[in-house]
Structure 1
Amino acid sequence: YDDGLAVAEVATAADPDILTDFVLPANTSSVDGNFFTFTGMRSLVTAPVPAKFTVLKATMEQFPALNGLSVSYAVLIYPATSVNPVHTHPRSAELLFLVEGSLQVGFVDTKNKLYTQTLQTGDIFVFPKGLVHFQYNADTKNPAMAISAFGSANAGTVSLPNTLFNSTIDDSVLALSFKTDVATIQKLKSGLKG
């Protein structure tokens, strides 16, 4: 630019603002209170602790009333020694509230620094938007349960193990990326099946 001014462009990603109170489903002209009620968490009340890590979601996909409202929810159940594998949420931060048990949690920032904490019942931890993070129940006997809130009706979840090793990325590309051999990549892939 001739006048010496630099122009910075900022890219942002968030749920779009809506111009109405809420968004009706296609081909619907009116709704009642049922539209704004989600009953998908009722199974938590009487269900036994699952055998493996489980997530119950209330996102726009399961609860269409969230469309345009920039919020969603998940209940995470961790049997003893289970993990929510390393993952990211590209469209939202995550605010996790530990309801029961204890969890080891952490995230890695863009400078590759790991931030960890051991949470006790009643603690809240925030995972910044888009950063790789995990939760691990290290307790060998007791389950843990957490509730996560998101600032998006569809925060998205990118599971790193699945994205990398259950995709069609060529094994030789993965081997070069991880500075290992194809046999090791194939062993990792076989461990994720089932």
Structure 2
Amino acid sequence: MASNTFAVKFFSLLIFSFAIMKMAIAGDPDIIFDFIAPPNTTIDENFFTFTGMRSLITAGPLTGFKVSKAALTEFPALNGQSVSIAVLEFAAGSTNPPHTHPRSAELLFLIDGTLQVGFIDTTNKLFNQTLQTGDIFVFPKGLVHFQFNPAAQAPALAISAFGSANAGTVSLPNTLFNTSIDDNVLALSFKTDIATIQHLKAGLAPKP
């Protein structure tokens, strides 16, 4: 993944996916200026440049799932531009757990490897697909979805584009079991016991 050839392919596809989202209907409110800059910020070409993805080219082997974002928080120049991206790296057998993006649809472009992906609509129907390298899949705005690399040894790499500078991510495991929701409420909701809920919470607790 770290070869120069792959780097060229990676950034070419990155630009392509970004261009696709520029053609989509934006989800953020329109602005009446060319761009929005934070107070006391020097506005030059560096303001419009994000270098946070450079580390992907020289990164070592993956041990799980990793997401690298270029959204409003990481790249303030995106404010008001209705676009953002994320690079999704999957070690063999790793998953991006069920989650939602409340402010945007997600357009995923699989650059390398295989991914099992899916989302659940408001009628509780699952749409499940196995993607091959070069495939594109859309996750509708606000719906619960996931990605999983089923390969026993090969990693997978994908780019996700969003029609919002701040699409937001709500992780279901963390939201349910890594917050202050009462154990009894969760036990009743999932028709299990408090000990099971506490076991789930312990597994999701932040590492010291």
Q: TM-score, normalised by structure 2?
A: 0.84
Determine the C-alpha separation between the residues in 1 that align with 2:159 and 2:61: 15
Who is 1:137 aligned against?
Answer: 149
Who is 1:105 aligned against?
Answer: 117
Determine the C-alpha separation between the residues in 2 that align with 1:35 and 1:85: 33
Point out where structure 2 has 5 or more consecutive residues left out of the alignment: 1-25
Percent same amino acid among aligned pairs? Answer: 72
**Aligned AA (2:34):** D
Determine the C-alpha separation between the residues in 2 that align with 1:38 and 1:27: 19
Who is 1:23 aligned against?
Answer: 36
Shift of 1:35: 0.7
SS at match of 1:49: coil
1:26-175 alignment, distance < 5 Å: 26-28=39-41, 31-175=43-187
Q: Could you say which structure has the higher helix fraction?
A: 2
**Aligned AA (1:76):** L
Shift of 1:14: 3.8
- Picking from 180, 183, 192, the partner of 2:195 is 183
Shift of 1:107: 0.2
Determine the C-alpha separation between the residues in 2 that align with 1:14 and 1:167: 29
Point out where structure 1 has 5 or more consecutive residues left out of the alignment: 1-12
Shift of 1:181: 1.1
Q: Which has the larger radius of gyration?
A: 1
Who is 1:10 aligned against?
Answer: none
SS at match of 1:84: strand
Shift of 1:184: 1.1
State the number of aligned residues. Answer: 181
Q: TM-score, normalised by structure 1?
A: 0.90
Determine the C-alpha separation between the residues in 1 that align with 2:203 and 2:150: 21
Shift of 1:176: 0.7
**Aligned AA (2:117):** V
Shift of 1:40: 0.4
